[in-house]
Chains A and B, each alone.
Chain A
Protein backbone atom coordinates (compact mmCIF):
# COMPACT_ATOMS: atom_id res chain seq x y z
CA UNK A 1 0.00 0.00 0.00
CA UNK A 2 1.32 3.48 -0.82
CA UNK A 3 2.21 5.90 1.98
CA UNK A 4 -0.84 7.83 3.20
CA UNK A 5 -1.03 11.51 2.28
CA UNK A 6 -0.48 13.20 5.64
CA UNK A 7 -0.44 16.67 4.07
CA UNK A 8 -3.96 16.44 2.67
CA UNK A 9 -5.15 14.88 5.92
CA UNK A 10 -3.61 17.75 7.91
CA UNK A 11 -5.41 20.28 5.74
CA UNK A 12 -8.79 18.62 6.26
CA UNK A 13 -8.30 18.43 10.02
CA UNK A 14 -7.26 22.09 10.16
CA UNK A 15 -10.38 23.07 8.18
CA UNK A 16 -12.61 21.18 10.60
CA UNK A 17 -10.89 22.71 13.61
CA UNK A 18 -11.25 26.24 12.22
CA UNK A 19 -14.94 25.63 11.58
CA UNK A 20 -15.46 24.34 15.11
CA UNK A 21 -13.44 27.03 16.87
CA UNK A 22 -14.15 30.12 14.78
CA UNK A 23 -17.47 29.33 13.20
CA UNK A 24 -15.96 29.16 9.69
CA UNK A 25 -17.92 27.18 7.09
CA UNK A 26 -17.62 23.44 7.51
CA UNK A 27 -15.97 21.54 4.67
CA UNK A 28 -18.47 19.97 2.25
CA UNK A 29 -20.28 16.84 3.37
CA UNK A 30 -20.67 17.52 7.07
CA UNK A 31 -24.16 17.46 8.55
CA UNK A 32 -24.49 21.14 9.43
CA UNK A 33 -26.74 20.69 12.47
CA UNK A 34 -24.38 18.11 14.00
CA UNK A 35 -21.32 20.19 13.19
CA UNK A 36 -22.85 23.35 14.66
CA UNK A 37 -23.79 21.48 17.84
CA UNK A 38 -20.24 20.14 18.07
CA UNK A 39 -18.81 23.64 17.67
CA UNK A 40 -21.02 25.03 20.42
CA UNK A 41 -20.17 22.14 22.75
CA UNK A 42 -16.45 22.47 22.04
CA UNK A 43 -16.36 26.21 22.68
CA UNK A 44 -18.48 25.80 25.82
CA UNK A 45 -16.01 23.20 27.09
CA UNK A 46 -13.09 25.53 26.42
CA UNK A 47 -14.91 28.29 28.30
CA UNK A 48 -15.60 26.03 31.28
CA UNK A 49 -11.95 25.01 31.43
CA UNK A 50 -10.87 28.66 31.47
CA UNK A 51 -13.49 29.52 34.10
CA UNK A 52 -12.15 26.73 36.34
CA UNK A 53 -8.58 27.91 35.93
CA UNK A 54 -9.62 31.57 36.48
CA UNK A 55 -12.24 31.58 39.26
CA UNK A 56 -11.86 35.28 40.08
CA UNK A 57 -12.22 36.27 36.43
CA UNK A 58 -15.29 34.04 36.09
CA UNK A 59 -16.78 35.59 39.23
CA UNK A 60 -15.98 39.09 38.00
CA UNK A 61 -17.84 38.59 34.71
CA UNK A 62 -20.64 36.50 36.26
CA UNK A 63 -23.30 35.33 33.82
CA UNK A 64 -21.60 37.22 31.00
CA UNK A 65 -18.47 35.08 31.22
CA UNK A 66 -19.60 32.37 28.80
CA UNK A 67 -20.70 34.82 26.10
CA UNK A 68 -17.72 37.14 26.49
CA UNK A 69 -15.23 34.28 26.41
CA UNK A 70 -16.95 32.72 23.42
CA UNK A 71 -16.68 36.01 21.50
CA UNK A 72 -13.01 36.25 22.42
CA UNK A 73 -12.27 32.59 21.67
CA UNK A 74 -13.91 32.70 18.23
CA UNK A 75 -11.87 35.73 17.35
CA UNK A 76 -8.67 34.24 18.73
CA UNK A 77 -9.31 30.78 17.26
CA UNK A 78 -6.13 30.88 15.23
CA UNK A 79 -3.92 31.85 18.15
CA UNK A 80 -5.66 30.29 21.17
CA UNK A 81 -3.51 27.62 22.72
CA UNK A 82 -6.23 25.38 24.12
CA UNK A 83 -4.45 25.64 27.48
CA UNK A 84 -6.88 27.15 30.01
CA UNK A 85 -4.23 29.11 31.91
CA UNK A 86 -2.71 30.63 28.76
CA UNK A 87 -6.03 31.33 27.03
CA UNK A 88 -7.45 32.82 30.23
CA UNK A 89 -4.48 35.17 30.45
CA UNK A 90 -4.96 36.26 26.85
CA UNK A 91 -8.66 36.80 27.56
CA UNK A 92 -7.94 38.80 30.73
CA UNK A 93 -5.36 40.95 28.90
CA UNK A 94 -7.90 41.59 26.15
CA UNK A 95 -10.49 42.67 28.73
CA UNK A 96 -7.95 44.89 30.49
CA UNK A 97 -7.15 46.48 27.13
CA UNK A 98 -10.85 47.31 26.75
CA UNK A 99 -10.80 49.00 30.19
CA UNK A 100 -13.02 46.33 31.75
CA UNK A 101 -12.92 46.83 35.55
CA UNK A 102 -11.40 43.54 36.66
CA UNK A 103 -10.61 44.08 40.33
CA UNK A 104 -7.68 43.05 42.48
CA UNK A 105 -8.48 39.34 42.60
CA UNK A 106 -8.23 39.12 38.82
CA UNK A 107 -5.02 41.14 38.85
CA UNK A 108 -3.55 38.59 41.25
CA UNK A 109 -4.72 35.73 39.04
CA UNK A 110 -3.04 37.40 36.08
CA UNK A 111 0.23 37.81 37.96
CA UNK A 112 0.23 34.18 39.12
CA UNK A 113 -0.63 32.95 35.62
CA UNK A 114 2.17 34.97 34.06
CA UNK A 115 4.57 33.57 36.64
CA UNK A 116 3.41 29.98 36.03
CA UNK A 117 3.75 30.34 32.28
CA UNK A 118 7.29 31.69 32.55
CA UNK A 119 9.59 28.87 31.48
CA UNK A 120 13.10 30.15 32.16
CA UNK A 121 15.03 32.84 33.96
CA UNK A 122 14.00 34.95 36.92
CA UNK A 123 10.70 36.84 36.72
CA UNK A 124 9.56 39.33 39.35
CA UNK A 125 6.55 41.66 39.49
CA UNK A 126 4.96 43.84 42.16
CA UNK A 127 1.40 45.09 42.46
CA UNK A 128 -0.28 47.51 44.86
CA UNK A 129 -3.62 46.03 45.89
CA UNK A 130 -6.51 47.63 47.76
CA UNK A 131 -8.65 44.56 48.51
CA UNK A 132 -9.18 43.09 51.06
CA UNK A 133 -6.71 45.56 52.63
CA UNK A 134 -3.99 47.82 51.22
CA UNK A 135 -0.89 45.76 50.48
CA UNK A 136 2.04 45.23 48.20
CA UNK A 137 2.16 41.84 46.52
CA UNK A 138 5.42 40.47 45.13
CA UNK A 139 5.23 37.52 42.75
CA UNK A 140 8.37 35.79 41.51
CA UNK A 141 9.17 32.87 39.30
CA UNK A 142 12.53 31.39 40.20
CA UNK A 143 14.50 28.63 38.51
CA UNK A 144 13.91 25.31 40.32
CA UNK A 145 11.86 27.02 43.08
CA UNK A 146 8.78 27.73 40.97
CA UNK A 147 6.34 30.52 41.78
CA UNK A 148 6.71 32.38 45.07
CA UNK A 149 4.61 35.25 46.44
CA UNK A 150 4.85 37.58 49.44
CA UNK A 151 2.31 40.13 50.60
CA UNK A 152 3.24 43.22 52.64
CA UNK A 153 0.52 45.22 54.36
CA UNK A 154 0.64 48.96 53.77
CA UNK A 155 -0.01 51.57 56.47
CA UNK A 156 -2.46 50.74 59.24
CA UNK A 157 -3.65 47.58 57.61
CA UNK A 158 -0.97 45.52 59.35
CA UNK A 159 -2.25 42.42 61.15
Chain B
Protein backbone atom coordinates (compact mmCIF):
# COMPACT_ATOMS: atom_id res chain seq x y z
CA UNK B 1 0.00 0.00 0.00
CA UNK B 2 2.82 2.36 0.96
CA UNK B 3 4.60 1.60 -2.32
CA UNK B 4 1.43 2.33 -4.24
CA UNK B 5 0.99 5.74 -2.64
CA UNK B 6 4.65 6.52 -3.31
CA UNK B 7 4.20 5.60 -6.96
CA UNK B 8 1.07 7.73 -7.12
CA UNK B 9 2.85 10.76 -5.71
CA UNK B 10 5.86 10.22 -7.99
CA UNK B 11 3.57 9.89 -11.02
CA UNK B 12 1.64 13.08 -10.25
CA UNK B 13 4.90 14.96 -9.57
CA UNK B 14 6.53 13.77 -12.79
CA UNK B 15 3.48 14.51 -14.94
CA UNK B 16 3.14 18.03 -13.47
CA UNK B 17 6.91 18.62 -13.87
CA UNK B 18 6.67 17.25 -17.44
CA UNK B 19 3.83 19.63 -18.25
CA UNK B 20 5.78 22.54 -16.72
CA UNK B 21 8.85 21.64 -18.75
CA UNK B 22 6.79 21.34 -21.95
CA UNK B 23 5.34 24.81 -21.43
CA UNK B 24 8.23 26.81 -19.93
CA UNK B 25 11.54 25.04 -20.47
CA UNK B 26 11.30 23.66 -24.01
CA UNK B 27 12.00 26.33 -26.64
CA UNK B 28 9.11 27.47 -28.85
CA UNK B 29 9.21 25.77 -32.23
CA UNK B 30 10.10 28.19 -35.04
CA UNK B 31 7.36 27.54 -37.62
CA UNK B 32 4.56 25.86 -35.66
CA UNK B 33 4.78 28.03 -32.56
CA UNK B 34 2.99 27.21 -29.34
CA UNK B 35 0.85 24.39 -30.70
CA UNK B 36 3.97 22.26 -31.14
CA UNK B 37 4.12 21.92 -27.34
CA UNK B 38 1.29 19.41 -27.51
CA UNK B 39 3.87 17.07 -29.05
CA UNK B 40 5.45 16.40 -25.63
CA UNK B 41 2.13 15.10 -24.40
CA UNK B 42 0.95 13.47 -27.65
CA UNK B 43 4.05 11.47 -28.49
CA UNK B 44 4.84 10.59 -24.87
CA UNK B 45 1.34 9.16 -24.44
CA UNK B 46 1.66 7.29 -27.73
CA UNK B 47 4.88 5.64 -26.56
CA UNK B 48 3.30 4.83 -23.20
CA UNK B 49 0.28 3.30 -24.98
CA UNK B 50 2.50 1.18 -27.17
CA UNK B 51 4.43 -0.01 -24.11
CA UNK B 52 1.18 -1.09 -22.40
CA UNK B 53 0.05 -3.02 -25.46
CA UNK B 54 3.39 -4.76 -25.53
CA UNK B 55 3.03 -5.66 -21.85
CA UNK B 56 -0.51 -6.84 -22.63
CA UNK B 57 0.88 -9.11 -25.38
CA UNK B 58 3.49 -10.57 -23.01
CA UNK B 59 0.82 -11.08 -20.32
CA UNK B 60 -1.41 -12.85 -22.88
CA UNK B 61 1.41 -15.20 -23.83
CA UNK B 62 2.20 -15.86 -20.16
CA UNK B 63 -1.45 -16.62 -19.47
CA UNK B 64 -1.64 -19.15 -22.31
CA UNK B 65 1.52 -20.75 -20.99
CA UNK B 66 1.03 -20.62 -17.20
CA UNK B 67 -2.77 -20.29 -16.79
CA UNK B 68 -2.37 -17.99 -13.85
CA UNK B 69 -5.26 -15.52 -13.50
CA UNK B 70 -2.85 -12.73 -12.47
CA UNK B 71 -1.62 -12.59 -16.07
CA UNK B 72 -5.20 -12.32 -17.25
CA UNK B 73 -5.73 -9.33 -14.95
CA UNK B 74 -2.44 -7.79 -16.08
CA UNK B 75 -3.53 -8.26 -19.71
CA UNK B 76 -6.92 -6.65 -19.31
CA UNK B 77 -5.54 -3.77 -17.18
CA UNK B 78 -2.90 -3.04 -19.80
CA UNK B 79 -5.46 -3.17 -22.58
CA UNK B 80 -7.71 -0.70 -20.74
CA UNK B 81 -4.88 1.71 -19.84
CA UNK B 82 -3.40 1.42 -23.33
CA UNK B 83 -6.78 2.16 -24.83
CA UNK B 84 -7.07 5.35 -22.72
CA UNK B 85 -3.57 6.41 -23.88
CA UNK B 86 -4.36 5.77 -27.53
CA UNK B 87 -7.67 7.63 -27.17
CA UNK B 88 -5.71 10.62 -25.82
CA UNK B 89 -3.29 10.30 -28.75
CA UNK B 90 -6.17 10.20 -31.24
CA UNK B 91 -7.68 13.34 -29.65
CA UNK B 92 -4.48 15.40 -29.22
CA UNK B 93 -3.30 14.45 -32.74
CA UNK B 94 -6.12 16.25 -34.61
CA UNK B 95 -5.87 19.25 -32.18
CA UNK B 96 -2.28 19.64 -33.44
CA UNK B 97 -2.98 18.66 -37.03
CA UNK B 98 -5.77 21.16 -37.65
CA UNK B 99 -3.69 24.35 -37.27
CA UNK B 100 -0.49 22.78 -38.66
CA UNK B 101 -1.69 20.66 -41.60
CA UNK B 102 -5.02 22.45 -42.03
CA UNK B 103 -6.96 19.19 -41.68
CA UNK B 104 -8.20 17.17 -38.75
CA UNK B 105 -7.39 13.75 -40.08
CA UNK B 106 -5.48 12.09 -42.89
CA UNK B 107 -5.24 8.40 -43.79
CA UNK B 108 -1.52 8.14 -43.33
CA UNK B 109 0.37 5.12 -42.01
CA UNK B 110 0.79 6.09 -38.39
CA UNK B 111 -2.66 7.60 -37.91
CA UNK B 112 -4.39 4.74 -39.60
CA UNK B 113 -2.43 2.03 -37.84
CA UNK B 114 -2.98 3.72 -34.47
CA UNK B 115 -6.68 3.83 -35.26
CA UNK B 116 -6.74 0.16 -36.24
CA UNK B 117 -4.79 -0.64 -33.06
CA UNK B 118 -7.46 1.21 -31.09
CA UNK B 119 -10.22 -0.76 -32.85
CA UNK B 120 -8.45 -4.06 -32.21
CA UNK B 121 -8.19 -3.43 -28.48
CA UNK B 122 -11.81 -2.26 -28.34
CA UNK B 123 -12.69 -5.62 -29.90
CA UNK B 124 -10.48 -7.31 -27.30
CA UNK B 125 -12.44 -5.71 -24.43
CA UNK B 126 -15.73 -6.35 -26.22
CA UNK B 127 -14.86 -10.02 -26.60
CA UNK B 128 -14.16 -10.20 -22.88
CA UNK B 129 -17.52 -8.72 -22.05
CA UNK B 130 -19.27 -11.37 -24.13
CA UNK B 131 -17.83 -14.50 -22.50
CA UNK B 132 -19.02 -15.29 -19.01
CA UNK B 133 -16.94 -18.18 -17.80
CA UNK B 134 -13.74 -16.63 -16.37
CA UNK B 135 -11.23 -19.27 -17.53
CA UNK B 136 -12.60 -19.40 -21.03
CA UNK B 137 -12.76 -15.61 -21.21
CA UNK B 138 -9.14 -15.36 -20.08
CA UNK B 139 -7.88 -17.93 -22.57
CA UNK B 140 -9.84 -16.76 -25.60
CA UNK B 141 -9.12 -13.08 -25.05
CA UNK B 142 -5.42 -13.89 -24.53
CA UNK B 143 -5.41 -15.70 -27.87
CA UNK B 144 -7.16 -12.81 -29.59
CA UNK B 145 -4.68 -10.42 -27.94
CA UNK B 146 -1.80 -12.36 -29.43
CA UNK B 147 -3.36 -12.32 -32.91
CA UNK B 148 -4.12 -8.60 -32.60
CA UNK B 149 -0.57 -7.75 -31.56
CA UNK B 150 0.91 -9.79 -34.41
CA UNK B 151 -1.31 -7.85 -36.77
CA UNK B 152 -0.04 -4.40 -35.73
CA UNK B 153 3.29 -4.41 -37.64
CA UNK B 154 1.49 -5.85 -40.67
CA UNK B 155 -1.11 -3.06 -40.56
CA UNK B 156 1.64 -0.47 -40.19
CA UNK B 157 3.78 -1.65 -43.09
CA UNK B 158 0.86 -2.35 -45.40
CA UNK B 159 -0.30 1.24 -45.00
CA UNK B 160 3.19 2.72 -45.02
CA UNK B 161 4.11 1.03 -48.29
CA UNK B 162 0.81 1.26 -50.10
CA UNK B 163 -1.02 4.38 -48.86
CA UNK B 164 0.89 7.34 -47.99
CA UNK B 165 1.60 13.42 -44.00
CA UNK B 166 2.54 12.40 -40.58
CA UNK B 167 5.86 14.13 -39.78
CA UNK B 168 8.74 11.77 -40.52
CA UNK B 169 10.15 10.19 -37.38
CA UNK B 170 12.17 12.82 -35.53
CA UNK B 171 13.40 10.52 -32.80
CA UNK B 172 15.69 7.72 -33.93
CA UNK B 173 14.91 8.79 -37.51
CA UNK B 174 17.68 9.17 -40.05
CA UNK B 175 20.21 11.93 -40.40
CA UNK B 176 18.75 15.40 -40.75
CA UNK B 177 16.03 14.53 -38.30
CA UNK B 178 16.16 15.22 -34.62
CA UNK B 179 15.05 17.64 -32.01
CA UNK B 180 16.69 20.54 -30.31
CA UNK B 181 18.61 19.07 -27.30
CA UNK B 182 16.36 20.82 -24.76
CA UNK B 183 13.28 19.58 -26.63
CA UNK B 184 14.75 16.11 -26.51
CA UNK B 185 15.29 16.26 -22.74
CA UNK B 186 11.78 17.54 -22.13
CA UNK B 187 10.36 14.86 -24.41
CA UNK B 188 12.09 11.98 -22.67
CA UNK B 189 11.17 13.43 -19.29
CA UNK B 190 7.54 13.31 -20.37
CA UNK B 191 7.94 9.76 -21.65
CA UNK B 192 9.30 8.81 -18.22
CA UNK B 193 6.44 10.62 -16.46
CA UNK B 194 3.85 8.77 -18.55
CA UNK B 195 5.48 5.42 -17.87
CA UNK B 196 5.54 6.03 -14.12
CA UNK B 197 1.88 7.01 -14.38
CA UNK B 198 1.18 3.69 -16.12
CA UNK B 199 2.96 1.72 -13.46
CA UNK B 200 0.73 3.42 -10.92
| A and B associate in one complex | no
